[in-house]
Chain A
Amino acid sequence: QLLEQSPQFLSIQEGENLTVYCNSSSVFSSLQWYRQEPGEGPVLLIALYKAGELTSNGRLTAQFGITRKDSFLNISASIPSDVGIYFCAGQLKFNGNQFYFGTGTSLTVIP
C-alpha cells in the first residue's frame, strides 16, 4: 500500500478533537483528504500542493509534510455528522496522472 493511514478506526465523544495521519515512503506532488459516507462517493475536504502547506476548511485543518511524504488531518470539536471514512489520496511526483488512495480511517462520533 503506497499510502498508509492511521488509525484505521477511531471512536470519539462529540466535541473532542481528532487527528488522522497519512504516511508514505514515496514523494507526492499533491495530496488530498476525502470523506466518504456509507454507500456514497468520496467528497473532497482539503487539497494540499506545497511542501509544508497548512490549510483549513472550517473545523478541518490539514498539513502537507516538508518532505511531501506525509500529511495529517485534524478535526476540532467533532459533531455526529463527521462520521464516515476519511481517505488521503495523492499523485506521485513522477506520475501525475494517477491517484493513489490511503487505506482509510473509519470515524465514529458518540453523541
Chain B
Amino acid sequence: DGGITQSPKYLFRKEGQNVTLSCEQNLNHDAMYWYRQDPGQGLRLIYYSQIVNDFQKGDIAEGYSVSREKKESFPLTVTSAQKNPTAFYLCASKPLAGGYNEQFFGPGTRLTVL
C-alpha cells in the first residue's frame, strides 16, 4: 500500500528537550511538507522540500529544523528554542511532475510538551 506514515501518533516530551518526528512516504513524490495545526485553527507551513538535500522555510520555521537526505524521508526536529511546541504536526507530500497540485497527508503526530 502506498502512503505516508508518521510516527509516533502521540509523543510526550519534557520542556527543554529536542524531539524528532518521523515522516516517510512510498509514493515516489518529490515534494514533502511539514505543517503545524493548533486547536480550532488551520494548517501553518513549517518547512517544505522539493528535492533531496534542499528545503525552504515556511511561515513558522523558527524553533524547527529538517533534513532531506532521502527522497522518502523528511524528519522534523522540534528544538528547545520553539516556545510553544505542543501541537498536532502533519506531514504531506506531492508529486512535482504531471501538473497535479494535490497534497497527500499522513495521519499526524500529536506532540505534548510537559
Binding site for B on A (CB under 8 A): 1, 29-30, 32, 34, 39-44, 47, 49, 87, 89, 91, 96-104
Q: Is the CB of B41 within 8 A of A99?
A: no
**7 A-B pairs closest in CB distance:** A41-B105, A30-B101, A101-B43, A101-B42, A47-B102, A103-B42, A42-B105
A103 to B44 CA separation, bound complex (whole angstroms): 10
Check B108 for interface membership: any CB of A closer than 8 A: yes
**Which residues of chain B come closer than 8 Å to A49, judged between CB atoms?**
99, 101
Taking a contact as CB atoms under 8 Å apart, the answer to whether B110 and A97 are in contact is no
A-B contact sample (5 more), CB < 8 A, given A44-B104, A47-B102, A98-B45: A32-B103, A41-B90, A41-B92, A96-B101, A104-B40
Q: Could you tell me the dominant secondary structure of chain B's interface residues?
A: strand
B42: chain A residues at CB < 8 Å are: 1, 87, 101-104
A89 / chain B contacts, CB cutoff of 8 Å:
43, 103
Q: Mark B residues whose CB is within 8 Å of A.
A: 4, 31, 33, 35, 40-45, 48, 50, 56, 58, 88, 90, 92, 99-108, 110
**Cβ-defined contact, B108 with A47, below 8 A:** no
23 residue pairs A–B, Cβ–Cβ below 8 Å: A30-B101, A32-B102, A41-B90, A41-B92, A41-B106, A41-B108, A42-B43, A42-B90, A44-B102, A49-B101, A91-B101, A97-B31, A97-B48, A97-B56, A98-B58, A99-B33, A99-B101, A99-B103, A100-B45, A101-B35, A101-B43, A101-B44, A103-B41
Q: A62–B44 Cα gap in the complex (Å)?
A: 23
Looking at the complex, which one of A41, A47, A101, A103 makes contact with B101 (CB distance below 8 Å)? A47
Residue of A nearest to B9 (CB): A39
Cβ-neighbour of A29 out of B41, B44, B101, B102 (below 8 A): B101
Closest to B88 in A: A39
What's the minimum C-beta distance from A26 to chain B, rounded to whole angstroms?
A: 14
Set of chain B residues within 8 Å of A30, measured between Cβ atoms = 101
B44 — nearest CB in chain A belongs to which residue? Answer: A101
Question: Which B residues are in CB contact (< 8 Å) with A39?
Answer: 88, 108, 110
Nearest-CB residue, chain B, relative to A30: B101
